[in-house]
Structure 1
Amino acid sequence: MMSLPWVLVIVLLFWYRFRSYFRCMLERRSGRLPPGPWAWPLFGTILTIDRRHPQKTLRKWAATYGTIFSFYLGERFCVAASDMPTIRRLMKDKRFENRCHAGMIMHLDGQFDKSIIMGNGEIWREHRRFSMAALRDFGFSKAGGEEQVQNEAALLVAEFQGHQGRSFDPKISIATSVANVISYMLFSDGFDCSDPRFRQYEETVAANIAELSSGTPLEIFPWLRFIHPFSVQFNRIQRRFKYCQRPMMDLIQEHKKSFDPNSPRDYVDAFLCVQEGRRRTEDSVGTYTDEQLMRNLGDLYVAGFETTTTFLRWALIYLILHPRVQAKLQGEIDVVIGSSRAPTMTDKAPMVYTEAVILEVFRLSDFLPFLIPHCATEDVQIDGYVIPEGTEIWPLVTYHYCNAKVWGDPQVFRPERFLDDKDQLLQSLADEIQPYSTGRRACLGEPLAKMEVFILLTTILQHFTISSQTTPDTEHLPAFILAPPSFEIIATPRT
């Protein structure tokens, strides 16, 4: 039998190892920290989270514990905000500006501070500012950006027509169009649907996203990467990650061969101009290295490509399921745009029903259930609770989008909810939809994404009525970005 001194030693060691956990649990009970579900030492709340659909568990907790609640991912203390006013307030607060550097993804590369999505500090600020200016110059505010989206929309129409009324999966066609818009803006090049390079890259990115969001224990316990069989999984993910970097670096070297600093063509050229200028004036490129450019390109490409592609696939599903909505949207297209010209962004303002449909697809598809977590840089008091320094902040939009107090009938696809009795957009309700985040970390590519969504969707419906031989499934596939299961459509030309 174990002696009393040894029992005391074990108890003291256990307390010392998990002292922050016990302190947080006591402070939660006292009301100093936000309430939340019971958490176990070491494991936290992961044993009670639905691994395939964690957003469902988080929605239940929000309904039980309120607007602000806390939970543990292993030993990581997290606080979730589940209504839009609170999310906006936190995202605009400089004390919550930083990204969290936690989980397996931080061990894939070791230099995530240089990422314009996941980075913090001066490198992040400098390259976010540069990227905003470069993207504005080479797409957002130029007619050329709109023209490029229109060109891709025309190619997408031709691709749909090529199926001649037969059933087909639109995923690759849509993905290629979206990817090409981003590609031309970043490096003046694009892909063909059948290009094996594009398919390989897209499949590699998708495979990594799926595996990273599969509920792997590596995400909670990154040290498992040193232990078999988790080491095999980690190495596989890391190989894919590095594979996705290689094409970007090859592209940069190829771009340099035709680079003219007096005539920048795209984002890469804009970066090389700064690089060349600093080399001449300061004898050092500073942070404007080829490696940094590679990271910027990867961040911008993957972030813009995956979200817009997923949205358009969900939009087609809901229009198939609701033919009355599709017909009404086509009616608005016929009145405002007609059939003889391509949609433009000047058409967007009067097309309030189209905007309502887009907002409702974002809301009900819920394919971005939570925005990328932030991190508290100091102790902060919010609504009577203390948020300790280092806490992960999770903007939980998934609960907000299905909150009956906000939407009345949240499970119903009803675009009219965003319109008043005069068929004008209810801007206050439209502002409740924030797919591109808000505040200091709002998505860099929001203007481009909105342009792509509007022009590609209206162009498809200008030319086709979309239907399906089977009823599409609306159950999410498990991932960070919740894509629908594969589905096929029939694109019937409009007469």
Structure 2
Amino acid sequence: MPTVIVLIVLLLALTYLAIAVFSKKKKKKSDGKKLPPAPKWRLPVIGHAAYLDKDKPFEQIDKWSKELGDVMTVHFGMDPVIVVSRERLLNEAFLKKSSNFSGRPSLFVHESCWGKGLVIRDGKEALSLRSFIMSTIRQRIVSSADCIQSLVSTETSHLIERLTARIRDAEASTSSASESFATTSTMTSSFATTSIEDDLFYVVGNVMTQLAFGRRYDHGSVEFRNNASWLTTTTELMQRTAMITFLPWLRWIPYFKYFEIKRKAAEVHATMIDDIQIRRKSGDYLNHSQHDLMSVFMRRIDEEAERIKLEDDGSLFTDDMLARIMTELFFAGIQTECNTFGWAFLYLAIHQDVQEKARQHIWNEIGREGEIRFENRRNLPYIEALVAEVQRIANVAPFGLFHKNHEETTLDGYTIPAGSIVMMNLYSTLLDESVFEDPRSFLPERFLSPSGELDQRAMKRSVPYGVGSRVCMGEIIARTELFTVIGSLLQKFRFSLIEGEEYSTEQKMQLTIQSKKYRLRIDLA
């Protein structure tokens, strides 16, 4: 009997919600405003979420965008989300109307677990914080000894040494085994392998660690790997809890592991706070020769503390905010960059012709020993085109972060109510057949002119970092890393598939689009 009563109550609740939704929809129509179209068969409570494959939600969103147009409404739970697709509308919303569409909506999981850091903060205070972070990053672009390029080049050199040693060891092993079996007909073979994302984790991680904290770890460091293990755990948990953002009541269902990610977030935050307190006790951050982000931010915190005493005002420059920003930088910077490298070398191993063309291009332009630096990319247009194509086809962040429009406006003739949740559909934009011919093929040449120069117009039409005033803050870091590392490794090594192992370019999403884990054979070029 209790079960029957529960079912009846649930049915009544769903019916009530369905009527409420219908009434709300009817009222909107009667307002005389033309709202963006939505897919059919919207379900009570959960909306259109039921139709999204958890591993490939981007495919259904892409399908709907082709059916309904470049501006549409998809209901995630009870919340209508305005989905904006393809170049024309992205530019209109996030460039022409950037000030209106630069807001961030309230996101339950992020705010209740991680707090309001910089990523989801809205308003003038967010602009001030973002400006400060960007200014600090720009300083590291032009500084000499420890500029971003210098950090990337140094870490890439360490990786090259490590991979070279691995190849030498494999060759020595093969030679030794061949001598042992010289009197028999049995031959042995050995070759070096790389799980490229794991190897590049130390390059990406060390660049971020030095920029953020002013310290680095040896490649292969178990301590660093253990310290950063929260990244993998958090990614898995956040994927599980994604729908709770729109259906908060799901947090009470154990499957979604909401309270587990809440505990993990608290642990990470406490670790960041401990690091800040250690720096504060040592006082080393007060030395202005220390210009890692933590030191610069802590000096600003001290300045703000003095100002607040005089002006009796508040400030976002606090230890708590610094800890949140550090967490966001690490999570966004390391995960997405390693994923992109994973796709890059998978495609290069599959497309040996592209890999060889890139290598010959490097050798012809700067030789086998010349240093590859981002500022010299004009001499290596094929490598820059290759990086652009990797980012386009990998499509690692297919939707970016949610936006919010501050005021009511129109897009493509449709009314966008003030305070709407707005999503960039970068997936469909980067695979738009009207812009990129044969978009699912790996063709770096699409970013080159007939004469072999970089096609700047084509480059501008590929927007893996998003569009507008809230474009990814780490863009210059990521571009420097991708160009330098891919070019440097192709200059020194050959990467190929290992016979008997399985490879796939099938895309699956775990917060970002990731490739299936794989190993490659690696030889000296």
TM-score, normalised to structure 2, is 0.85
Match of 2:259 in 1: 235
Structure 1 198/88 Cα, relative in aligned 2: closer, same or farther at 3 Å? farther
Which residue does 2:506 correspond to in 1? Answer: 475
Check whether the contact 2:214–2:290 (CA below 8 A) recurs between aligned residues. Answer: no
Task: Name the stretch that deviates more: 468-477 or 431-440.
Answer: 468-477
**Count of residue correspondences:** 479
The 1-side partners of 2:14 and 2:446 are apart by 57
* Equivalent residue, structure 2, for 1:271: 297
Q: Assess if the C-alpha contact under 8 Å between 2:362 and 2:487 holds in 1.
A: yes
Superposed displacement of residue 369, structure 1: 1.2
Q: In the alignment, which of 379, 386, 391 is matched to residue 350 of structure 1?
A: 379
Q: Which residues in structure 2 correspond to 1:281-296 (within 5 Å)?
A: 281-283=307-309, 286-296=315-325
Partner of 2:460: 431
Q: Which amino acid aligns with 1:133?
A: S
Q: Using the TM superposition, name which of 18-27 and 334-343 deviates more.
A: 18-27
Selected match of 2:134 from 126, 132, 135: 132
The answer to whether the Cα contact below 8 Å between 1:336 and 1:347 also exists between their aligned partners in 2 is: no
Question: What's 2:160 paired with?
Answer: 157
- How big is the shift at 1:458? 0.9
CA RMSD of aligned residues (A): 2.4
Q: Is 2:492 the counterpart of 1:463?
A: yes
1:444 aligned partner: 473
Matched AA of 2:378: A
The aligned residue for residue 524 of structure 2 is 493
Instruction: Note closer, same or farther for the CA distance 1:32–1:466 as it changes in structure 2 (3 Å cut).
Output: same
Give the gaps of 5 or more residues in structure 1: 1-8
Contact 2:86–2:425 (CA<8 Å) still a contact in 1? yes
> Does structure 2 retain, via aligned residues, the 8 Å contact 1:24–1:33?
no
From the superposition, tell whether residues 41 and 351 of structure 1 become closer, same or farther in structure 2 (CA, over 3 Å): same
Work out the CA distance in 2 between the residues paired with 1:141 and 1:162. Answer: 33
Distance 1:21 1:194, change over 3 A: farther
Matched, 1:67 2:70: yes
Q: 1:464·1:491 contact (CA, 8 Å) conserved in 2?
A: yes
Change (3 A) 1:34 1:337: same
Q: Extract unaligned runs of 5+ from structure 2.
A: 1-11, 168-190
Following superposition, the deviation at residue 475 of structure 1 comes to 1.5
Task: Report the Cα distance in structure 1 between the residues aligned to 2:205 and 2:320, rounded to whole angstroms.
Answer: 22
Match of 1:205 in 2: 231
In the TM superposition, residue 476 of structure 1 has moved relative to its aligned partner by: 2.2
Q: Which residue of 2 aligns with 1:47?
A: 50
**Contact residue 55 and residue 369 of structure 1 kept, 8 A:** yes
Q: Which amino acid counterpart does residue 66 of structure 1 have in structure 2?
A: G
2:336 corresponds, among 273, 293, 307, to 307
What is the CA–CA distance in structure 2 between the aligned matches of 1:328 and 1:457, rounded to whole Å?
13
In structure 1, the residue matched to 2:143 is: 142
1:147 to 1:277, Cα distance in 2 relative to 1, 3 A: same
1:179 alignment partner in structure 2: 205
Match of 2:277 among 241, 248, 253: 253
CA contact (8 A) 2:202 2:220 kept: no
Q: In the aligned structure 1, how far is the partner of 2:420 from the partner of 2:111?
A: 17
Secondary structure of the 1:336 match is helix
Aligned match of 1:389: 418
CA shift for structure 1 position 27: 6.7
Name the SS for the 1:440 alignment partner. coil
Question: Is the 1:261–1:273 Cα contact (8 Å) retained in structure 2?
Answer: no
Q: 1:27 to 1:487 in 2, by over 3 A?
A: farther
Cα distance between partner residues in 2 of 1:14 and 1:487: 47
Are the counterparts in 2 of residues 97 and 441 from structure 1 also a CA contact under 8 Å?
yes
Amino-acid identity (%): 22
Q: 1:245 to 1:15 in 2, by over 3 A?
A: closer
Aligned to 2:217: 191
| Residue 5 of structure 1: aligned partner | none
DSSP-derived class of the 2:512 partner: coil
Change (3 A) 1:11 1:147: closer
CA drift of 1:416 comes to 1.1
Structure 1 stretch displaced more, 159-168 or 372-381: 159-168
Partner SS state of residue 285, structure 2 = coil
State the distance in 1 between where 2:267 and 2:219 align: 20
Structure 1 residues 331 and 387 mapped into 2: Cα distance closer, same or farther (>3 Å)?
same
Residues 60 and 338 of structure 1: CA distance in aligned 2, closer, same or farther (over 3 Å):
same
Determine helix, strand or coil for the equivalent of 2:504. Answer: coil
Following TM superposition, by how much is the alpha carbon of 1:210 offset from its aligned partner in structure 2, in angstroms?
2.5
- Secondary structure of the corresponding residue to residue 393 of structure 1: strand
SS at 1:33 equivalent: coil
Q: Aligned partners of 2:232 and 2:17: how far apart in 1? A: 41
- In 1, are the aligned partners of 2:46 and 2:78 still within 8 Å (CA)? yes
| 3-state SS of paired residue (1:69) | strand
Q: CA deviation at 1:58?
A: 0.4
**Post-superposition offset of 1:20:** 6.5
**Shift in Å at residue 418 of structure 1?**
1.5
Q: 1:380 aligns with which of 391, 409, 419?
A: 409
8 Å CA contact 2:155, 2:207 repeated in 1: yes
Larger radius of gyration: 2
1:27–1:366 Cα change, 3 Å: farther
CA apart distance, 1:13: 5.5
Q: Which amino acid aligns with 1:123?
A: E
Report which stretch shifted further, 392-401 or 209-218. 209-218
